[in-house]
């Protein structure tokens, strides 16, 4: 049970921040929008919207190969985003930052390059019970192709990784451990530093799915010593269609290209092709230039906030929501780990999660319902799906109160 002492207020000027997000200031079904689906995608501040429009109005040109002014400006802006991401996650060098279409694209890149080169028959890949499908299916595919084994870390009743079981899963045949930083369904913050250290002791490499963690937690890839880190721009107030793969230089250099085409080559003849240097070896074709350029503005928006205060504010909203839901008869929390970020999942004994989501939408409240691309986790928990409220810096205590009032009213009406 959460208690009042668990809830700490943070000095974040949420109202001033909200003024920078135009999508929040609208009505949905006749009610002011309460947007609580941030784990799926975040809304965008005006400066991000303006940056994207400015790119297409002024700088639109293909990059790296042009010598005219627009091409040079676009190239410079594109590479500035790479440097901004390097600094944001404290990578050792900009060349360790590869742009992709999103977290899914980044994980698939590693599975289909590192996995195809290094996995052999009877080798082992370890994931966890908490994983999104994007961190399950790519490993299933490559394991099936190579004859390797996929092993799964179990979780505790509260939704935490069972580290004792994880230690037993690690063997001399473990080649890769790939786990989420933060569960997109339960909000559990996994002890990824422990996961990484234990994997390295066993001689395995580690990929961290930071799709949720990138915006709710501070990430320093050198301090973590992870081998790969994957995340998406659209969950951190940036554009959709943008993603990042961080990889240690020595690993990226040893991996074969993922796709062939322009940009990823040095020289092409009909007899042989030589590949480009990092990171371009993994960026075939014309990239999503405008959105990548704009991603730098999203990073600047985050950097302009008091990160510690934001983390405390979001944690306060999570705890307040959990505490309120616990007081509604017939509502059950799914995922009660003491260390959570951004996400609260729950089910009702009286209303199907899909129906409850539709009823809340009718009152202007946007949440997510279903299995959240974690079907194996749902099966493990013996449920079909959940209602998921997920938070961002611009969410308020008043929005939480409105959600709780709406859920209580709908449940009580259904019980009559």
Q: pLDDT tens, 56-68?
A: 999 999 998 778 9
- Cβ–Cβ contacts within 10 Å for residue 368, how many? 22
Q: Percent of the chain beyond pLDDT 70?
A: 97
- Six-digit token pair at 74? 């676009």
The span from the CA of 127 to the CA of 115, in Å, is 14
Work out the mean pLDDT of the chain and round it to a whole number.
Answer: 94
Burial of 66 (0-12, 13-18, 19+ CB in 10 A): middle
Instruction: State the residue for tokens 């205060």.
Output: 309
pLDDT of res. 150: 98
Q: Categorize the per-residue pLDDT at 239 as very low, low, confident or very high, splitting at 50, 70 and 90.
A: very high
**Which range in 5-9, 288-292, 409-413 is most confidently predicted, on average pLDDT?**
288-292
- Cβ–Cβ contacts within 10 Å for residue 223, how many? 10
Residues 221 and 310 in one domain: no
Which domain CATH number covers 158?
A: 3.40.640.10
Residue 144's contacts (CB-CB under 8 Å, 6 or more residues apart) are: none
Check whether 95 has a pLDDT greater than 80. yes
The span from the CA of 145 to the CA of 157, in Å, is 34
Residues 293 and 339 in one domain: no
80 occurs within a structural domain: yes
- Six-digit token pair at 190? 């996994």
138 occurs within a structural domain: yes
Contact 123, 173 (CB under 8 A): yes
Picking from 303, 333, 360, the residue at the C-terminal end of a domain is 303
Residue with more model confidence, 6 or 70: 70
Contact 384, 371 (CB under 8 A): yes
Residues 310 and 388 in one domain: yes
- Cβ–Cβ contacts within 10 Å for residue 18, how many? 16
Q: Categorize the per-residue pLDDT at 9 as very low, low, confident or very high, splitting at 50, 70 and 90.
A: very low
Instruction: State the residue for tokens 């290094």.
Output: 118
How many independent structural domains does the chain possess? 2
Check whether 238 has a pLDDT greater than 70. yes
40 occurs within a structural domain: no
Catalytic positions: 373
Burial of 217 (0-12, 13-18, 19+ CB in 10 A): middle
> At 350, is the secondary structure helix, strand, or coil?
coil
Residues 211 and 147 in one domain: yes
Residues 109 and 209 in one domain: yes
Which domain CATH number covers 385?
A: 3.90.1150.10
Picking from 248, 272, 303, the residue at the C-terminal end of a domain is 303
Which ranges in 94-227 belong to alpha helices (H)? Answer: 103-118, 137-146, 163-169, 192-201, 213-216, 221-224
The 10s digit of each residue's pLDDT in 118-174 is: 999 999 999 999 999 999 999 999 999 999 999 999 999 999 999 999 999 999 999
Check whether 278 has a pLDDT greater than 70. yes
Please work out, in degrees rounded to the nearest 5, the angle formed at the alpha carbon of residue 402 by the alpha carbons of 314 and 39.
Answer: 40
Average confidence (pLDDT) over 212-218 = 96
Residues 293 and 319 in one domain: no
Cβ burial 253-270 (10 Å sphere, 16+ → b, else e): eebebbeeeebbbeeeee
Residues 298 and 319 in one domain: no
pLDDT of res. 6: 39
pLDDT of res. 416: 65
Check whether 35 has a pLDDT greater than 80. yes
Instruction: State the residue for tokens 């870390």.
Output: 153
Residues 155 and 230 in one domain: yes
Check whether 187 has a pLDDT greater than 70. yes
Residue-by-residue DSSP string for 79-133:
HHHHHHHHHHHT-S-GGGEEEESSHHHHHHHHHHHHHHHH--TT-EEEEETT--G
Contact 238, 52 (CB under 8 A): no
The 10s digit of each residue's pLDDT in 300-353 is: 999 999 999 999 999 999 999 999 999 999 999 999 999 999 999 999 999 999
pLDDT of res. 415: 74
366: containing domain: 4-32+306-415
pLDDT of res. 37: 98
Instruction: State the residue for tokens 């308020």.
Output: 396
The span from the CA of 328 to the CA of 412, in Å, is 9
Residues 327 and 394 in one domain: yes
331 occurs within a structural domain: yes
H/E segment holding residue 15: helix 14-18
Beta bridge partners of 28: 31
Check whether 105 has a pLDDT greater than 90. yes
Residues 102 and 23 in one domain: no
Check whether 10 has a pLDDT greater than 60. no
Picking from 255, 288, 303, the residue at the C-terminal end of a domain is 303
44 occurs within a structural domain: no
Secondary structure letter of residue 325 according to DSSP: H
Residues 241 and 93 in one domain: yes
- Six-digit token pair at 96? 């360790």
pLDDT of res. 96: 98
pLDDT of res. 196: 98
Residues 287 and 378 in one domain: no
pLDDT of res. 395: 98
41 occurs within a structural domain: no
């Amino acid at each position: 049970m959460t208690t009042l002492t668990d809830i700490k207020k943070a000095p974040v000027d949420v109202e001033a921040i909200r003024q920078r997000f135009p999508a929040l200031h609208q009505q949905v079904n006749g009610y002011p929008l309460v947007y609580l689906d941030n784990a799926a995608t975040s809304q965008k501040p005006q400066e991000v919207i303006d940056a994207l429009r400015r790119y297409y109005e002024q700088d639109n040109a293909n990059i790296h190969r042009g010598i005219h002014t627009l091409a040079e400006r676009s190239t410079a802006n594109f590479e500035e985003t790479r440097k901004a991401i390097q600094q944001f996650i404290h990578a050792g060098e900009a060349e360790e930052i590869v742009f992709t279409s999103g977290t899914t694209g980044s994980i698939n890149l590693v599975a289909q390059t590192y996995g195809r080169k290094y996995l052999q028959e009877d080798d082992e890949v370890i994931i966890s019970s908490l994983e999104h499908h994007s961190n399950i299916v790519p490993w299933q595919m490559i394991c099936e192709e190579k004859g390797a084994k996929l092993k799964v870390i179990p979780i505790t009743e509260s939704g935490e990784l069972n580290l004792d079981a994880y230690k037993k899963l690690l063997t001399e045949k473990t080649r890769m451990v790939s786990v989420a930083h933060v569960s997109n369904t339960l909000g559990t913050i996994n002890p990824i530093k422990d996961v990484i250290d234990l994997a390295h002791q066993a001689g395995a490499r580690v990929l961290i799915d930071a799709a949720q963690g990138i915006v709710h937690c501070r990430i320093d890839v050198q301090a973590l010593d992870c081998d790969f880190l994957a995340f998406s721009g659209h969950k951190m107030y940036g554009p959709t269609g943008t993603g990042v793969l961080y990889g240690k230089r020595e690993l990226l250099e040893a991996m074969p290209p993922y796709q062939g085409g322009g940009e990823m080559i040095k020289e092409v003849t009909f007899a042989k092709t030589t590949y480009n240097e990092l990171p371009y070896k993994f960026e075939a074709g014309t990239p999503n230039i405008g959105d990548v350029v704009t991603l730098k503005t999203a990073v600047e928006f985050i950097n302009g906030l008091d990160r510690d205060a934001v983390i405390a504010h979001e944690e306060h909203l999570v705890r307040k929501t959990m505490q309120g839901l616990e007081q509604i008869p017939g509502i059950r929390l799914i995922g009660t780990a003491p260390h959570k970020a951004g996400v609260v999942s729950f089910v009702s004994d009286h209303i199907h999660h899909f129906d409850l989501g539709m009823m809340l939408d009718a009152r202007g409240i946007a949440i997510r319902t279903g299995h959240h691309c974690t079907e194996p986790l749902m099966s493990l928990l013996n449920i079909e799906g959940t209602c998921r409220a997920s938070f961002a810096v611009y969410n308020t205590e008043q929005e939480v109160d409105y959600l709780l009032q709406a859920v209580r009213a709908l449940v009580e009406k259904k019980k009559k």
